[in-house]
Amino acid sequence: MSTGLTAQLPSIVIIGGGPAGLMAAQTVRAAGIEVDLFDAMGSVGRKFLIAGKGGLNLTHSEPRPAFDARYRERAREVGEWLDGFDADALRAWAGGFGIDTYVGSSGRVFPNDRKAAPLLRGWVRRLRESGVRFHVQHRWLGWDDAGALRFNTPEGERRIDAPATILAMGGGSWPQLGSDGAWVRPMQAAGIDIAPLQPANCGFDIDWSTHVSERFAGSPLKPVIAHWQDANGIEHSLQGECVLTETGIEGSVIYAISADLRAAIARDGEAMLWLDLAPGRDAERLREALDKPRGKRSLGDHLRRQAGLDAAKIALVFEVLGRDAGSDIDLLAKTIKRLPLRLLRPRPIAETISTAGGVRLEALDDALMLEAMPGVFCAGEMLDWEAPTGGYLLQACFASGLRAGLGAVTWLSAGNPPREIGQEKMVGRDGFEPSTN
C-alpha cells in the first residue's frame, strides 16, 4: 500500500531519534529552520534510556588529547567534532535542563541521579516547544528514483522530499530498540561507501568445558589484569573486571580492548588473552605461598587460602591445567599470574553494546555531508568510528549530531534554499501536515 504522494517539506528532515539526531534537531531549530524528525520506533531515545538503566554515563573527565585517542584510528576526525562540543560543553548542556553531573571514581561523568529518563523527557519537551515535529513508526527505506525519502508506516509507504536530510540511525547493535543497521543496504544501493558493521564493546566466545559453562556462567572475575598484544605485537595491560558467560567472557575490561581482540581474530582466526588472577601479589611470593604444605586440604581450598582465589578463578585454573594442577608449583603460580585464554569469535552484533564500521568518513566532507549526495548529512554511530564504553560513545554521538546540524544549516544558507512547496499534503496517523507558511 502506498499513498502515491510525495510531500515537499519546508524543513530539514532528520531520520533517527537518538542523541545524534536529537542534537542535530536542536541545532537546526536554533537556527530558525523547521525540523521534522522521523524514527522507526514508537518513541525516540529508546537506546539512550537503556544506556542509562544502570546509571547514565554521559561522558568522561579524561583530558584531551588523551580523550581523543580513545577513538583510535579516527582520533583526528572525532577530535575535530569535540572541538565544537567537548565533555565540558556536554555537562553544561545537561545543566541547562537542571541536570547536574558529577565525576565518579573512574573518571566517568554521570547525572547526579544517574538516570536517563529525566534528561530525555526534558530534552524532547523543549524540542517540541521549539517547534520540532516528531513522527514515529516511520522506518526509512531509502530513496526513490526521484531522490525522495521513502518511509514504511502503519498506513503504508510515504515519500517525502526535503531541502536537506540528516541521517542518524545508529549502528547495528540493540536491534530491538531500533538500531538494526537496516540502513546499510539502501545506502550501499545508492553508492555510499560503507565499512562492514562489526561487533564493538563485545564479549567473546571461548571453548569452555561443560563444567565452567554450566556452573560458572555469570560469575565475576575481579579484579584481574588483562594482557594482550596489538596488531604490531606490542603487549598491553589493563586492570579491571570481567564476567564469565555460558559461551565465553565479557565485561568492562574486555569491552575496553575488544577492538584489538576482534582484529586479531580477523587476522589469525583467534586471539590470545592472558589474565592475572592475583593482581597485587608478587609472583615469587605467590609461588612460596603455594609451596606451603596443604595437608589434607583440597587444592581448591589451598588456592583460596594461599592465593586468595575465589571459586570462579579456581575453576579457570583447573580449566587450563586440569585436575593435576598442583603437581607443578612453578607452573601453577605462573598460570595464576598469566592464565591463557583462546578467544574464538566476538559475540553477534545484536548482543553488543555498539558497532564499528558504517559510513566511511572519507565519503563525507568536514561538515559530515555525503560528497556524492549534496544536502545529505550523517551523524552518530552509523559513521565509521568506535570507542570504548565510559562516556566516549555518547560524547561522539552528541558532538557529531551538532556538527551535522551546523553543516546542514550552513549548506542551506550558502545558496541551497528550500524547494518551492507544492500543493500536495500528507496527513498520517501522527497528525502531520506540512506547513506552507
pLDDT one-digit tens code per residue, 244-254: 999 999 999 99
Please report, for the chain, the start and end positions of each structural domain, with discontinuous segments joined by +.
2-199+353-413, 204-346
Q: If pLDDT is split at 50, 70 and 90, which confidence band does 430 have?
A: very low
Express as a percent the part of the chain with pLDDT over 70: 93
- Give the architecture-level CATH label for domain 2-199+353-413: 3-Layer(bba) Sandwich (3.50)
Angle, in degrees to the nearest 10, between helices 87-95 and 392-413 = 80
Residue 7 has pLDDT above 70, yes or no: no
Looking at residues 191-200, what average pLDDT do you find? 97
Mean pLDDT across the stretch 150-166?
95
Burial class (CB in 10 A: 0-12, 13-18, 19+), 252: middle
Which pairing describes strands 339-343 and 164-167: parallel, antiparallel, or unpaired? unpaired
Reported as a single tens digit per residue, the pLDDT across 208-239 is 999 999 999 999 999 999 999 998 999 999 99
Mean pLDDT of 308-317: 97
Does the pLDDT at position 356 exceed 90? Answer: yes
Assess contact for 398 and 120: CB atoms under 8 A.
no
Mean of all residue pLDDT scores within the chain: 92
The fraction of the chain above a pLDDT of 90, given in percent, is 87
Q: In the structure, what pLDDT confidence band is assigned to residue 323 with cuts at 50, 70 and 90?
A: confident
Copy the grid coordinates of residue 241. 573486571
Q: What is the pLDDT of residue 4?
A: 44
* pLDDT over 70 (residue 195): yes
pLDDT interval class at 426 (50, 70, 90): very low
Q: Answer yes or no: is pLDDT of 3 > 60.
A: no
| pLDDT for res 177 | 87
The pLDDT score that the predictor gives to residue 123 is 98
Q: What is the pLDDT of residue 126?
A: 98
Q: Does residue 420 register a pLDDT over 50?
A: no
Residue range 257-301, pLDDT digits in tens = 999 999 999 999 999 999 999 998 999 999 999 999 988 899 999
| Full-model pTM | 0.90
Phi–psi pair at 221, nearest 5 degrees: -120, 105
Mean pLDDT, range 416-423, rounded to an integer: 41
Average pLDDT over residues 145-172: 95
Q: What is the mean pLDDT of residues 60-75?
A: 97
pLDDT of 436: 29
Residues 6+ apart with CB under 8 A from 383: 358, 359, 361, 364, 368, 400
> What's the grid cell of residue 289?
605461598
Residue partners of 183: CB distance under 8 A and separation at least 6:
140, 167, 169, 382
